[in-house]
Amino acid sequence: MQSPHPSHHEDKIRQHVVAFCASKGLDHTVDATGNVIIRKPATEGLENRRGVILQAHMDMVPEKNSDKEHDFQNDAIETIIDGE
């Protein structure tokens, strides 16, 4: 994910989530607090089953080593792939 999203600065990640929903045709709204609510219909044949609600958060805690320079509002996280 190349969208910085430290606590209290989730606008970029929110825009990414909304664009993803739009690209997949998912019903979505953003409330006054900035929460993204996504609704997906049940799979055909399972419409009468109980619904499922998933909850998550979009921010990340901006923490870095003291020897690193990083602007959490603008810089993407540098990742390291170790192995496969």
Q: State the CB neighbour count (10 A cutoff) for residue 16.
A: 17
Say whether pLDDT at 4 is over 80.
no
- Could you tell me if residue 75 is inside a domain? no
CB under 8 Å to 76, separation ≥6 — which residues?
1, 2, 3, 4
- Could you tell me if residue 71 is inside a domain? no
Q: What is the domain count for the chain?
A: 1
CA gap 28, 30 in Å, rounded:
7
DSSP 50: P
pLDDT bin (cut points 50, 70, 90) of residue 59 is confident
- Could you tell me if residue 73 is inside a domain? no
- Could you tell me if residue 15 is inside a domain? yes
CA angle in degrees (0–180, nearest 5) for 23-43-35: 50
Percent of the chain with pLDDT over 90: 50
Say whether pLDDT at 66 is over 70.
yes
- Could you tell me if residue 25 is inside a domain? yes
CA gap 48, 51 in Å, rounded:
9
